[in-house]
Structure 1
């Protein structure tokens, strides 16, 4: 868990997880509570949290892209696109970021 906080790609992976998890809470808990049981409080609190995590992921992806010198057409656009597709952050973490994180750890 420590590597998620000490490496740039680790922090990106952590922000991807948090953004995806906040979307899960919003879509499968908060929205049904709002429309099924007339309790909008969780949507009112989770909406801004998810929005902030969404922006954190975008800025983290751009920062890592610049620091790692990713070519925009090869890597950066895939990572940025992931946050616009529901649960795409989980997919991009599994298919791309995990491998890049392992390479970053091996390099030192």
Structure 2
């Protein structure tokens, strides 16, 4: 797979991971804890977990071809824990 395609796939993973995190925090969690409706947390939480793992794996896969340094790697992986972090990574590093 060409580098451009790898970057494109990682961009989509990054965007989807960011969206799933926001949905989990802003919709699913309030539904669970305010309205006692835990089903959305199970559904969105599972999707977010899969996308989170894909984000980390994709980031690891791109370290060498993108020639990221330790600081960039730390920022990219650290952003996976912030609600809008994956969007920042997608715009700044890809």
TM-score range, shorter chain: 0.7 to 0.9
Deviation of 1:96 after TM superposition, in Å, equals 2.2
Give the whole-Å Cα distance in 2 for the aligned partners of 1:74 and 1:27: 27
Whether 2:74 is the aligned partner of 1:77: answer: yes
In structure 2, what is the equivalent of residue 94 of structure 1? Answer: 91
Give the whole-Å Cα distance in 1 for the aligned partners of 2:75 and 2:7: 15
Contact 2:16–2:51 under 8 Å retained in 1: yes
Question: What RMSD, in angstroms, separates the aligned Cα atoms of the two structures?
Answer: 1.5
Moved over 4 A (4+): none
Contact 2:32–2:41 under 8 Å retained in 1: yes
SS in 2 for 1:38: coil
In structure 1, what is the equivalent of residue 39 of structure 2? Answer: 41
Give the whole-Å Cα distance in 1 for the aligned partners of 2:45 and 2:71: 31
Whether 2:52 is the aligned partner of 1:54: answer: yes
In structure 2, what is the equivalent of residue 27 of structure 1? Answer: 25
Give the whole-Å Cα distance in 1 for the aligned partners of 2:68 and 2:11: 16
Q: With CA pairs under 8 Å and 6+ residues apart, which has the higher RCO, 1 or 2?
A: 2
Structure of larger gyration radius:
1
TM-score (norm 2): 0.85
Give the whole-Å Cα distance in 1 for the aligned partners of 2:71 and 2:20: 27
TM-score (norm 1): 0.75
